[in-house]
Amino acid sequence: MYHVAVIGATGAVGQKMLQVLAELDFPVSRLSAYASARSAGNTVQFKGEDITIQALTPNITEDGIDVALFAAGGTISEQYAPLLAENGTLVVDNSSAFRMQETIPLVVPEVNPQAIQATDRLIANPNCSTIQSVVALAPLQSLGFERINYTTYQAVSGSGQKGIEDLARGARGEEPVNYPHPIHDNILPHIDVFLENGYTKEEQKMIDETRKIFNLPALPVSATCVRVPVTNSHSVAINVTFTQLTTVEAIREALEGAPGVVLIDDVANTRYPMPLDASGTDDVYVGRIRQDDSLANTFHLWCVADNIRKGAASNAVQVARQAIEQSIHS
């Protein structure tokens, strides 16, 4: 049993981490919740108990924490995650602060659990859209990836509560506060800041993280990330070219029963993955599998997942469990 801390416990992902820790029966002997000083003294719920929120200070290293799940943003992670890791705490960080550091594993348990070494104390959680995409692609690795192109349709919950509130504001005819344009009855081809190459930071994350997770640093990957007026669960259209010849039937067979994947691909009966299917679950739903007639040995896949659960909280808890198992069996 472990003393587990959730850093950023009042945010959407932190709240979901508390829920998932309970639902997945993580071996918690003691649960500590940390947030900003203004939240200190308030409470959060864990397994029906009120947990008093503590202010985050450098003295956290003295609290005897075994496992720390970070959901408080990159600035907080950069300051506190290394402190805890150097003190022996197993840290799983949900920000982008450490994802592309060569010595820090970037892990999706269904895809690359072998990236975790028994001695690792700081592990990065990938971007939400990357997580669901690589879970959908992982069962197809043996076919060889020649190129991957993503187009995402990302829910407003990816921006936290402020994104959800902007969607509600728009429905009331009010101006947005979080987004640069209305999201209600609209879509924004713009997530995170624009980079000099014309891509957004979110798009670049998907490109870089996919290469790192699959250990294919030269793999051609591209992405276009779009915010849509959906409350929760991201959708990703994946266009993938394989090095080996394959068929739609072979792809379906590989995906059927794959870890973390639910196949919904029955267009004759209008059955395909939708955000309503995924919300509240930890699976990645895949469908609309078809050959791309414009490019040799290329196929379309459509995948949907709950971006707050599998795209953040659940993956972090699964990573922590995987790391503990690796340590025990080393």
3-state secondary structure of 129: helix
CA 320 to chain centroid: 14
Q: What are phi and psi of 213, to 5 degrees?
A: -65, -40
As a 3-state breakdown, the chain gives helix, strand, coil percent values, each rounded to 5, of: 35, 25, 40
Angle formed by the axes of helices 12-23 and 314-328, nearest 10°: 50
> Which token pair is 159?
């921006």
Contact 303, 133 (CB under 8 A): yes
CA–CA dist 36, 55 (Å, integer)? 5
CA–CA dist 160, 74 (Å, integer)? 15
CA–CA dist 163, 149 (Å, integer)? 26
Active-site position among 234, 300, 303, 329: 234
User: Helices (H) and strands (E) in the chain — how many of each?
Assistant: 8, 13
Q: Is 128 a catalytic residue?
A: yes
Residues involved in catalysis:
128, 234
